[in-house]
Amino acid sequence: MGSTSARIAVDAMGGDHAPAEIVAGAIRAQQELGVEVLLVGDRDQISLALKQHTNISPSQVQIIHAEEVVEMGEEPLTALKRKPKASIRVAMDLVKNNQADAVVSAGHSGAAMAAALLRLGRLPGIDRPAIGAVFPTAMLNKSVLILDVGANVDCRPKFLEQFAVMGSIYSQYVLGMSEPKVGLLNIGEEACKGNEQSLKTYQLLEQNSQITFIGNAEGRDVLTGKFDVIVCDGFVGNILLKFAEAVGEIVLQTLKEELSAGWQGKLGATLLKPSLRRFKQRVDHVEHGGGLLLGVAGVCIISHGSSQAPSIKSAIRLAKEAIDHQVLDRIKVWDQNPDPSEVSN
Amino acid sequence: MGSTSARIAVDAMGGDHAPAEIVAGAIRAQQELGVEVLLVGDRDQISLALKQHTNISPSQVQIIHAEEVVEMGEEPLTALKRKPKASIRVAMDLVKNNQADAVVSAGHSGAAMAAALLRLGRLPGIDRPAIGAVFPTAMLNKSVLILDVGANVDCRPKFLEQFAVMGSIYSQYVLGMSEPKVGLLNIGEEACKGNEQSLKTYQLLEQNSQITFIGNAEGRDVLTGKFDVIVCDGFVGNILLKFAEAVGEIVLQTLKEELSAGWQGKLGATLLKPSLRRFKQRVDHVEHGGGLLLGVAGVCIISHGSSQAPSIKSAIRLAKEAIDHQVLDRIKVWDQNPDPSEVSN
């Protein structure tokens, strides 16, 4: 898996704006990031979407035909059984058969996770995979990885402990934190705070010598930059993720409303355009792509259902980084030997 | 309980900035809101704090001496048993003995809740009280009530159903929403989404004819203004509340950093000062006071530990509004007769 030839299977049929925006993002990624993209889905629809892009010839893009799609309302396992030719399942099989190095999907996230588990399986030592999302923090150029943000609505303490280890490896090798500081999302700083799950998880994290656990992270601590990795169950994490994304948008909208009041505001707003654009970049989820499904035996990026081309491109970049930094091998090595730096380079 | 003579017992010893900021906020409330304040705590410390306020004579302020304090690290029930003269307990007794109409505390929130339950008891029909917090929304002059934000870390579906009813009453009679729209905080819109708790709660809310349940609220829906009341357990709610408060501050800090880059930004920032101030008011928690402890037989406002004078004043205003609008009587009446408008005015 070299850094210049990562092969990314993209579920072209998944997401609110599929296939047009998915195809657009994939083509941009192929042209700008030096990856090889495999568009998985209905050949006719994909071909039609490709016609919008005159700067690329059809021969430069690979299409892998898949005639079925898992719809948003479907129960994942049932849908995957009924639809063996669903695009998400075909994409996973490409990785399983070593025809691709990663999958990117903005479709039904439960179905993507189920397909990954069914077709690729879990990494050794991992009971449940988790979706990790990278949030910006108040510190410039410092982000925080939060997991799980939606794969498991109910978690046992040992699942959260595994999330902490996987998150630390990802933070260290992909996000470049030398000794990632781990926190447990909770309602108070003290070890005695929280529900039954958090009390037990606190103990496990404290005793785990493979991570740097620095204590509970309250809601107010999430974006300070004090923590590099924060673990929580997928119920809380998913609500927090969607809330955070919406807040960014609401703040910008509210600011615009306030700015349009009076000439001072209007003149000020004009002068501030470049600042506001940079600000938007710092808080915008589009820049951060999607979530990495950690713990399955393959690189899988789960993007937002609302993803448009820029998000898809960011998600493909994330997949490329996970491949380049051998994240899966390091998690595998950790299970046998708790020093993930020992992976062969 | 008339609107001009509400008597508010303020726990002067509770909070990070007690007693100085608590006393300052209480005095401001007494002078500006037409309420009667009773400062509960160590007489000497309160008197010392009062000396900072030359615009009020000592005879105008009532001090109720209480020689003990529940500290932040203490286990609530044990602490209340060991310290019968703790300020929060003495404050609750003032309400119990009809010497005050409400309690405001920025101290140990668990201890405040335990003291309220022990000394005042629950309202009929309520198994667990909940802390409700009012959030601003993207719609101007429209807020959303979220409960529980910290009283109960683990909740049964029927507790959440009771929160929905109490929240609806509060939203209707204090916040002025004519037919409050209730949502269940969850990870998806569909009825089949969520953990075991949310699936069961969805059914209960759907069947309850006393509220207007409009479905699941995802994280992204919380601040849109689509919902008037959103119910969740105190674990998720507390994390969301603290996260939301911190986000407001971080956004302002990030904006300031971006604004200080270059002369355009600096000039723009100067012109925008009034807009930014209004913006800050819309997102700032100080304006929103604290949380109302709904379901106990007395009006209790639980403020942030970090509260300073303006927050305490807002919390006292909140207490006054709950008294003026007879929120407790309406919840009591609902238990006997599901039409809370029938309370005598």
Q: Give the tokens for residue B189.
A: 């819109």
**Residue B144 CB-half CA count within 13 A:** 29
Say if the Cβ atoms of A270 and B271 lie within 8 Å: no
Q: Is B330 helix (H, G, I), strand (E, B) or coil?
A: helix
Distance from CA of A133 to the nearest CA of B (A): 15
**Residue B100 CB-half CA count within 13 A:** 30
Say if the Cβ atoms of B253 and A187 lie within 8 Å: no
pLDDT at residue B283, as a whole number:
57
Distance of CA B103 to the CA centre of its chain: 11
Q: Which of B186, B219, B243 minimises the CB distance to A220?
A: B243
Distance from CA of B86 to the nearest CA of A (A): 22
Q: What pTM was computed for the model?
A: 0.85
Please report residues of A whose CB lies closer than 8 A to that of B247. Answer: 223, 244, 247, 251
Q: Is B143 helix (H, G, I), strand (E, B) or coil?
A: strand
Q: Which of B140, B194, B268 minimises the CB distance to A153?
A: B194
Q: Give the tokens for residue A119.
A: 């077709």
| Nearest residue to B240 via CA among B141, B149, B343, B302 | B149
Say if the Cβ atoms of B250 and A154 lie within 8 Å: no
Q: Which of B195, B220, B265 minimises the CB distance to A235?
A: B195
Say if the Cβ atoms of B195 and A241 lie within 8 Å: no
Distance from CA of A154 to the nearest CA of B (A): 6
Please report residues of A whose CB lies closer than 8 A to that of B74. Answer: none
Sign of CA dihedral B209, B214, B220, B223: negative
Cα separation of A160 and B57, whole Å?
Answer: 57
Cα separation of A287 and A285, whole Å?
Answer: 5
Q: Which of A220, A259, A276 minimises the CB distance to B245?
A: A220
Say if the Cβ atoms of A239 and B218 lie within 8 Å: yes
Q: DSSP for B274-296, please give it.
A: HHHHHHHHHH-GGGG-EEEEETB
Say if the Cβ atoms of B221 and A257 lie within 8 Å: no
Cα separation of B178 and B212, whole Å?
Answer: 11
Alpha-carbon Rg for chain A in angstroms: 21
Is the bond leading into A58 cis (omega within 30 degrees of zero)? no
Q: Give the tokens for residue B40.
A: 């509960």
Q: What is the pLDDT along chain B (345 residues), one digit of tens a residue?
A: 444 579 999 999 999 999 999 999 999 999 999 999 999 999 999 999 999 998 888 788 999 999 999 998 888 999 999 999 999 999 999 999 999 999 999 998 889 999 999 999 999 889 999 999 988 888 878 889 999 998 888 899 999 999 999 999 999 988 889 999 999 999 988 888 888 899 999 999 999 999 999 999 999 999 999 999 999 999 999 999 999 888 877 777 777 776 666 666 666 667 666 666 666 666 554 456 678 899 999 999 999 888 999 999 999 999 999 999 988 888 887 666 555 555 544
Cα separation of B160 and B155, whole Å?
Answer: 7
Say if the Cβ atoms of A259 and B241 lie within 8 Å: no
Neighbour-count burial for B19-55, b at 16+ CB within 10 Å, e otherwise: bbbbbbbbbbbbeebebbbbbbbbeebbeebbeebee
Residue that the structure tokens 């204090």 belong to: B174
Please report residues of B whose CB lies closer than 8 A to that of A219. Answer: 238-246
ipTM of the shown complex? 0.83
Distance from CA of B338 to the nearest CA of A (A): 32
pLDDT at residue A36, as a whole number:
95
**Residue B30 CB-half CA count within 13 A:** 21
Q: What region does B343 belong to: left with phi over 0, alpha with psi -120 to 50, or beta? A: beta
- Residue pairs between chains A and B whose CB atoms are closer than 8 Å: 178
Q: Which of A73, A138, A194 minimises the CB distance to B250?
A: A138
pLDDT at residue A250, as a whole number:
76
pLDDT at residue B267, as a whole number:
66
| Nearest residue to B50 via CA among B21, B29, B70 | B21
pLDDT at residue B1, as a whole number:
42
CB atoms near residue A342 (< 10 Å): 12
Say if the Cβ atoms of B219 and A246 lie within 8 Å: yes
| Test the A interface: residue of B141, B148, B250 with most A CBs within 10 Å | B250
Low-confidence ranges of chain A (pLDDT < 50): 1-3, 285-286, 344-345
Please report residues of A whose CB lies closer than 8 A to that of B135. Answer: none
Cα separation of B271 and A258, whole Å?
Answer: 12
Say if the Cβ atoms of A283 and B258 lie within 8 Å: no
Q: Which of B73, B224, B278 minimises the CB distance to A190?
A: B73
